[in-house]
Structure 1
Amino acid sequence: MPAITRPHQRRGRRAHRLFASAAALVTAGALAAALPATASAGERHQHTGGHHRSGRFQDVQLLSFNDLHGNLEPPAGSSGRVTELQPDGTTRTVDAGGMEYLATHLRQARQGHRYSITAAAGDMVGASPLISGLFHDEPTIDALNKLDLDVTSVGNHEFDEGAGELARLQNGGCHPTDGCYGDEGFDGADFPYLAANVIDDKTGRPILKPYWVWKKRGVRIGFIGVTLEGTPNIVSADGVKGLTFKDEADTINKYARILQRQGVQSIVALIHEGGYPASSSYNYDCDSPGAGDGISGPIVDIARRISPAVDALVTGHTHQAYVCTIPDPAGRPRLVTSASSFGRLYTDTTLTYDRATGDIVRTAVRSENHAVTRDVPRAADMTELIDEWGALAAPVGNRPIGYISADIGNTGTESPLGDLIADAQLAYGRSLDPDTDLALMNPGGIRAPLTYAAKGAEGDGVVTYAEGFTVQPFSNTVNLQDFTGAQLIQVLKEQVSGSNEAAPRILQPSAGLTWTLDLTRSGADRVVTDSIRLDGRPIDPAATYRVATNSFLAGGGDGFPTLAQGTGELVGTDDLAALEQYLTARSSADAPIAPPAADRVTVVR
């Protein structure tokens, strides 16, 4: 690859921000109610007086986000929008995201705050668009350094290329296969990645730091970082080889005790696991009608088991937006936040630090999600970074690979893009083995929609290699395996049972494969056995079927253990190449591909 002039990298921890302090962010009334009964009148006056430069109480700003996934450029289509709840109860969509705008919003938010921390909850890299993914996400680490990120937990996607590559992103050095992309090398992250619950089987210790303490003028706040315990179920086996992932709450409780023994009483957990709010609006009140009533999912159980010593939880993974309070084991409400994904939102939280106790006055905590709108000036340093890496990626990314007649979306129980990718894998499978019967695609492997509107100079309706890479960035291979009909039925049952029972993962089927998903039933029965058809004929439990999947599914990923039991495996090319071949062979400027109807799965509600 041609050389690129790399942005200057800062080594070591930078000095904390020097912005002048501004007026208090909490009201005197709310704060007075939060103060300990022993606080003197003088202490109360100092705390509510506005600047908090001295005295017992100090407001600390915590800015947070999660699941960036290397989205340096503004994400396209629905991936680049958020839903905002209006005062009259209606909603509107807002274009959001892009590192140039996220940097501006965070820098504006920090103004006036002498005590400000920026933290993240994992998946900063992995499943990234071409501009970052092509270079093993070095551009994203460069951008996060410029963004003044202080600390992040690891997420499952930090393990897409294995623990060795994660260590390189932390510590620097050239890629072991592709080498260096410029004369200056790669210095790694200025911020610590925290991996408290990721244990190296050889040493029995966390692979990276388990916690980190932010310090400024006597204020100390500890951060513990974990990823979801189920990471091995959603990452390729090679990515997590030699690692054990421990329970999230148990791990956080362990290190909270260690921090307390070190005299750190204020603690924030960065957790790459999340929940599902009752509304998709980023400013929805998920404490309605009561604390935590508007949220469900894994984070609820985790939050209820985490020690009361932990003052706030910054979460991620589910790509949802929420600011909730979920009761801790002592029954006290505790803040739990998430800022959607792809840099479309950030969370602004005020933590009130009590210098007398070293702890957070939890009842005074305030928090709100904010959209990263694109109506602010772009950050010049981010524009320069994007332009430099974009120029290096352009010869690869701008190549047309197909044509579409309209947006092809990736949302819904069954999505048009899911069907298109399954059809592409079936066609590729039949090019290897004409007896291939069907293909199945996991929805989590589809990272973005295909949009009709041009992103650059390619023209409307043109699908570029960069857009295809953004859709399927994992470099999985397309694998063929033989299954009995009984095994195939079991695979489809696993969409809604086992580890997928609480949060179903509906596979995207190739043309000819149909079934009914009856949501009025429970467990595996939600997939109606008698409804499963291939080309209109019932699946024969005793027959053998040749099935195409990506290598992640073929290894049993996403909670489909039966897919790891196939026989006669044949490993083909990568899945993006299969999609490219399909689009190139079946579309042209004069005859673009239309979105599939997404009518292969019948849903009963």
Structure 2
Amino acid sequence: MKKNVCIFVWLLCLVLSVAAQEKFVKLKIVQTSDVHGNYYPYNFITRQEWEGSLARIYVFVQKEREQYKENLILLDNGDILQGQPTAYYYNYIDTISPHICSEMMNFMKYDAGNMGNHDVETGRNVFDRWIRICDFPVLGANIIDTSTGKTHLAPYKVLERDGVKIVVLGMITPAIPAWLSENLWSGLRFDDMEETARKWMKIIREKENPGLVIGLFHAGQEAFKMSGKYNENASLQVAKNVPGFDIVLMGHDHTRECKKIINVAGDSVLIIDPASNSVVFSNVDITLKLKDGKILHKDIQGVLTETKDYGVSEEFMKHFTSQYEAVQNFVSKKIGTFTESISARPAFFGPSAFIDLIHRIQLDITGADISFTAPLSFDAEIMKGEVYVSDMFNLYKYENMLYVMTLSGKEIKDYLEDSYYLCTNQMKSPNDHLLWFKEKLKEGAADRAALQNFSFNFDSAAGIIYTVDVTKPRGEKITIISMADSTPFRMEETYKVALNSYRGNGGGELLTKGAGIPQEKLKDRIIFSTDKDLRFYLMQYIEKKKIINPQALNQWKFIPEEWTVLGAKRDYDLLFKKGKEK
């Protein structure tokens, strides 16, 4: 009997000892990405309540912290400094106060951030100031200081939670030089993501010996070569080809995604992307089984969670009331009067007052011969009557500079050939689409979901008279009839062309693939650049004129009209049938 009792006690002790050596660690990862200034639950552009915001996400974060405590890890994946007037105001208007974005992220207790291309677009004065105020590291493993060869920012962040070492490696899309003027990122370079990931994964494995590795990549998943040299949207490629990542948090492409893939080593990697504007966020649950400090098993599950379901944090709103009021006062300033309402919708189907107002102002500011611009806002409207600062964020969505470049007549034609190739379907009958739609639609921003290419690359021209024959193939669509004043347009002549800095630096590849100008030669063509963003000059122009009568210039048209008029009506209904008529 005593012997049996001893055996039982011994077995019990053994079981308890083994059990004591095993434990489970639960982690929660929350990722925001492409917030684009949507900090408050209010859209300062449309002057309406807004479903996406950090103020809503904070409700979820605080609720989950009650359970997870320090095991909730909050990460941002870039493009948080641009978009809503809130960001613009603290980027360029009030540069004395602490940056609101830093203050809010500190308040929410972010564990790490990452750089996005639109954060770089704000310029070094802005993004360096933002980073200095943040209580957490903003990462950038492939952002290199050219003077030292070292990373400008921390490449990765090490977090320890319940005995588990977690490493977050941050990278940005390397295509910055193809979009942004060098003065905005002077002294920096942006290395290839896959090469960078291989380098740092080796260092992380040897130096940190992590239990969990998270990639925080401001890049989408459909990789392609931008301007023949920048591997754009390489997040999925890195996740597959560089073993070691457990999770890859994506951004940049504004497309919702949540899936698991198998990498080249046969391991599962969670891929998740919360699209844009804080409408959803990445919500990842991790359960780790440990024994003697070693991870035996990982269970990683992710979902995209709707922000609107969590209400608004009163604590957040109260803490940032004064900043809210400052931005409200800024956007409420009257700058002029429009005699007509204008909408971006008609810009997809022919000349429009909306786009041609930008053309007129670009030509007036620069004295250029020809202007290029695109519908940067997919579905924006400015009503006739008094016009306010808030309306300017509808009229012009991004903080681009205004350039004047020299282009030959042939380069101008080839540029437009590529622009309309990206925009239009090659019609075979009057029953075909006028616009080029995707065969399979993805959930995300409306313009990016429906159309084959980004609408912000659909440039039209002013200053010339031309037609676009949508029955013709790429390279044969454009016929330039004359200059707008009826003087001849000559292929061999050199013209001054006004366009934005995104396009002038190679964005959309209309100058490189289209006009055939090598990427490295683009800067040699720039003969003028504004020192402030174009929206600033648009506001100045309207304030000076006081009354604006926006009208379409009617300097180009789609042909054959008996086909394109029908196609335009059908495609308009397809694109905008869910919205009110404009």
- TM-score normalised by the chain length of structure 2: 0.71
1:490 equivalent in structure 2: 414
Q: For 1:174-226, what per-residue CA distance to the aligned partner results, in whole angstroms no more than 9, with x for missing partners?
A: xxxxxxxxxxxxxx011210111111111111001101111122122110000
Retained in 2: the 8 A contact 1:492–1:527? no
1:216 is the counterpart of 2:161: yes
Cα distance in 1, alignment partners of residues 555 and 255 from structure 2: 24
1:541 is the counterpart of 2:502: no
2:117 equivalent in structure 1: 156
1:146 equivalent in structure 2: 107
SS across alignment from 2:235: helix
Letter of the 2:252 partner, please give it.
H
Letter of the 1:466 partner, please give it.
S
How far residue 585 of structure 1 moved from its aligned partner, in angstroms, is 8.2
The percentage of aligned residue pairs carrying the same residue is 18
Letter of the 1:576 partner, please give it.
R
2:185 is matched with which residue: 240, 243, 249?
Answer: 240
2:215 equivalent in structure 1: 269
Letter of the 2:211 partner, please give it.
Q
2:171 is matched with which residue: 226, 230, 234?
Answer: 226
Cα distance in 2, alignment partners of residues 116 and 554 from structure 1: 43
1:384 is the counterpart of 2:335: no
2:236 is matched with which residue: 300, 303, 307?
Answer: 300
Retained in 2: the 8 A contact 1:479–1:549? yes
Cα distance in 1, alignment partners of residues 357 and 551 from structure 2: 14
Unmatched tracts of structure 2, length 5 or more: 1-13, 224-231, 423-451, 572-582
Residues 203 and 575 (structure 1 numbering): CA distance in 2 closer, same or farther, change over 3 Å?
same
Structural mapping, 1:79-94, within 5 Å: none
1:66 is the counterpart of 2:1: no
Cα distance in 2, alignment partners of residues 360 and 403 from structure 1: 66
Q: For 1:84-127, what per-residue CA distance to the aligned partner results, in whole angstroms no more than 9, with x for missing partners?
A: xxxxxxxxxx9621232222233234442242111121112134
Letter of the 1:209 partner, please give it.
A
SS across alignment from 1:168: helix
Please identify, of 572-581 and 108-117, the stretch whose mean Cα deviation from structure 2 is larger.
Answer: 572-581
Cα distance in 2, alignment partners of residues 80 and 360 from structure 1: 52
Letter of the 1:121 partner, please give it.
N
1:526 is the counterpart of 2:474: yes
SS across alignment from 2:144: strand
Cα distance in 1, alignment partners of residues 47 and 65 from structure 2: 24
Residues 239 and 452 (structure 1 numbering): CA distance in 2 closer, same or farther, change over 3 Å?
closer
SS across alignment from 1:244: strand
How far residue 513 of structure 1 moved from its aligned partner, in angstroms, is 6.0
Letter of the 1:580 partner, please give it.
M
2:262 equivalent in structure 1: 327
1:478 is the counterpart of 2:434: no
Q: Which has the higher helix share?
A: 2
Structural mapping, 1:357-376, within 5 Å: 358-359=294-295, 361=297, 364-373=299-308, 376=310
Residues 558 and 480 (structure 1 numbering): CA distance in 2 closer, same or farther, change over 3 Å?
same
1:4 equivalent in structure 2: none
Residues 408 and 557 (structure 1 numbering): CA distance in 2 closer, same or farther, change over 3 Å?
same
Cα distance in 2, alignment partners of residues 79 and 42 from structure 1: 64
Please identify, of 137-146 and 400-409, the stretch whose mean Cα deviation from structure 2 is larger.
Answer: 400-409
Residues 132 and 601 (structure 1 numbering): CA distance in 2 closer, same or farther, change over 3 Å?
farther
1:123 is the counterpart of 2:76: no
**Could you say what the CA RMSD is over the residues aligned between the two structures, in angstroms?**
4.4
2:458 equivalent in structure 1: 507
Residues 438 and 54 (structure 1 numbering): CA distance in 2 closer, same or farther, change over 3 Å?
farther
Which structure has the larger Rg over C-alpha atoms? 2
Residues 571 and 79 (structure 1 numbering): CA distance in 2 closer, same or farther, change over 3 Å?
closer
Retained in 2: the 8 A contact 1:199–1:206? yes
1:438 equivalent in structure 2: 370
Please identify, of 215-224 and 232-241, the stretch whose mean Cα deviation from structure 2 is larger.
Answer: 232-241
Number of aligned residue pairs: 489
How far residue 342 of structure 1 moved from its aligned partner, in angstroms, is 1.6
2:282 equivalent in structure 1: 347
Retained in 1: the 8 A contact 2:44–2:331? no
How far residue 567 of structure 1 moved from its aligned partner, in angstroms, is 6.6
Residues 423 and 452 (structure 1 numbering): CA distance in 2 closer, same or farther, change over 3 Å?
closer
Cα distance in 1, alignment partners of residues 396 and 317 from structure 2: 25
Residues 573 and 268 (structure 1 numbering): CA distance in 2 closer, same or farther, change over 3 Å?
closer
SS across alignment from 2:205: helix
Letter of the 1:63 partner, please give it.
V
Retained in 1: the 8 A contact 2:260–2:269? yes
SS across alignment from 1:526: coil
Unmatched tracts of structure 1, length 5 or more: 1-40, 47-52, 82-93, 172-187, 278-295, 454-459
Q: For 1:433-480, what per-residue CA distance to the aligned partner results, in whole angstroms no more than 9, with x for missing partners?
A: 66x44321255xx36854569xxxxxx965421341475475544333
Retained in 2: the 8 A contact 1:476–1:550? yes
Q: For 1:339-365, what per-residue CA distance to the aligned partner results, in whole angstroms no more than 9, with x for missing partners?
A: 111211111111222324755845x32
Residues 234 and 433 (structure 1 numbering): CA distance in 2 closer, same or farther, change over 3 Å?
closer
Cα distance in 1, alignment partners of residues 338 and 243 from structure 2: 55
Structural mapping, 1:306-325, within 5 Å: 307-325=242-260
How far residue 169 of structure 1 moved from its aligned partner, in angstroms, is 1.8
Residues 245 and 568 (structure 1 numbering): CA distance in 2 closer, same or farther, change over 3 Å?
closer
Cα distance in 2, alignment partners of residues 415 and 268 from structure 1: 44
Letter of the 1:323 partner, please give it.
C
Residues 310 and 439 (structure 1 numbering): CA distance in 2 closer, same or farther, change over 3 Å?
same
How far residue 367 of structure 1 moved from its aligned partner, in angstroms, is 0.8
2:57 is matched with which residue: 96, 102, 110?
Answer: 102
